[in-house]
Structure 1
């Protein structure tokens, strides 16, 4: 019995690790306390340069990143993190509610955006949602191929005829969602909710734009798609 119990303890999943990059000590302390209370492992960095150093060292599952910081802005940190590890989930924090900041952050690859002051419950909910959307793929599902395309879901790589493709983080998440729900008809609203996580994202045309890019990169003939099919009046279906 003890051996069985020991095996169960060994197999328990590790808590998600969150890197908080924030220069306000009180904010850092509050975030650490709340994240640890929810069972997350927390590491911190006091500015953007330290955050860039700690991210590859610690391999966090998610980064909570302030925009306004000394030495290097959060927007530049986000850009460099995306270049170093394109798949890492990022939630950005800012004291500025300007729409331009939000748009720039999202264009640089942030997965979500929270404006200070914010409810800790809201932030926790967004953290859980982003971690759910970017969860590690089970080992038996980490490779997928269709036509001359190979997708490594675990390491976030896409090859076509053996050559690596430049695929943005959101394009990859959309592709991953299609692969994990192959054969299902997926509405634009469902894709927005599951891949972007924004109930108030500008328009459902966002999905259409990203799908056009995937077709251009992955379809033999983007004008006559074989894998990413349009279901008129409903959404899209992946059949690869």
Structure 2
């Protein structure tokens, strides 16, 4: 899709700039990051739909960066680039969250075809996943709106994110660590009581719209569980 944001992470300036220019010429909004630190900053400021990630970076292990990007960009496509002599890294990178890989040298036409295919599938998946319904609760993830029995609930941003995480895993335990990582940040060092305060607010707002007291169950020492019939 024309205009989608892409991030090229490549320490070789010539390759990185040429790839970004080629992608821009195809109608994408492409940026180039020469190292891992710059990539994380750019990804946080302007989340890309797709990341083209070279594994051989000067400041951070490429696989570690892949893992960080996957945590922070759960919906983005990550395609790793690796030299033929480093193909062993591909298996580790795929386990770390990469969607695909290309070995160097590669043809630009092949790269473009791969990226277009991945973006088409990603966009289709996001469209299918826009609406999430469990029991009497429905969420519009794109519009960030929640409704209980058809009546909209006024939620703060973090409250909506928490509810979306819980509803996506309805009937299953979502650990405290998972909720904090997804809603705040994997490097969050604030008080974990913040999570409990937000859960309490969610329960109160759901109760105001007719949900029972057991709609969000606490499992002490583990986390929380959303009960669709609560």
Same fold (TM over 0.5): yes
The aligned residue for residue 220 of structure 2 is none
Please say if residues 22 and 65 of structure 1, whose CA atoms lie closer than 8 Å, have aligned partners that are also in contact: yes
Q: Give the counterpart of 2:61 among 58, 61, 73.
A: 73
Which residue of 44, 50, 53 corresponds with 2:38? 50
Alpha-carbon distance in structure 2 between the residues aligned to 1:91 and 1:39: 19
Matches of 1:66 and 1:99, distance apart in 2? 12
- Counterparts of 2:91 and 2:136, CA distance in 1: 34
- Residues 14 and 107 (structure 1), Cα distance of their counterparts in 2 relative to 1, 3 Å cut: same
Measure how far apart 1:81 and its partner are: 1.0
Q: CA RMSD of the aligned region, Å?
A: 3.4
For the Cα contact (< 8 Å) 2:132–2:141, is it kept in 1?
A: yes
For normalisation by structure 1, the TM-score amounts to 0.56
User: Displacement of 1:87 after TM fit?
Assistant: 1.9
| Aligned length in residues | 157
Aligned to 1:160: 170
Matches within 5 A, 1:7-156: 15-135=3-123, 137-138=126-127, 142-145=130-133, 154=142
Offset from partner CA, 1:195-236 (integer Å, 9 cap, x none): xxxxxxxxxxxxxxxxxxxxxxxxxxxxxxxxxxxxxxxxxx
CA apart distance, 1:161? 3.8
| In structure 2, C-alpha distance between the alignment counterparts of 1:105 and 1:130, rounded to whole Å | 17
8 A Cα contact 2:134 2:170, kept in partner: no
C-alpha change, 1:153 and 1:35, in structure 2 (3 Å) is same
Give the unaligned 5+ runs of structure 1.
1-12, 167-240
Deviations 1:103-135 (A, max 9, x none): 111111101101100011111111111111111
Q: In the alignment, which residue of structure 2 is the partner of 1:235?
A: none
Does the Cα contact within 8 Å between 1:150 and 1:159 map onto a contact in 2? no
C-alpha distance in 2, partners of 1:81/1:124? 21
1:53-102 C-alpha deviation (Å, 9 max, x unpaired):
11010111111110001011221111111122222211101113444211
Higher gyration radius (CA): 2
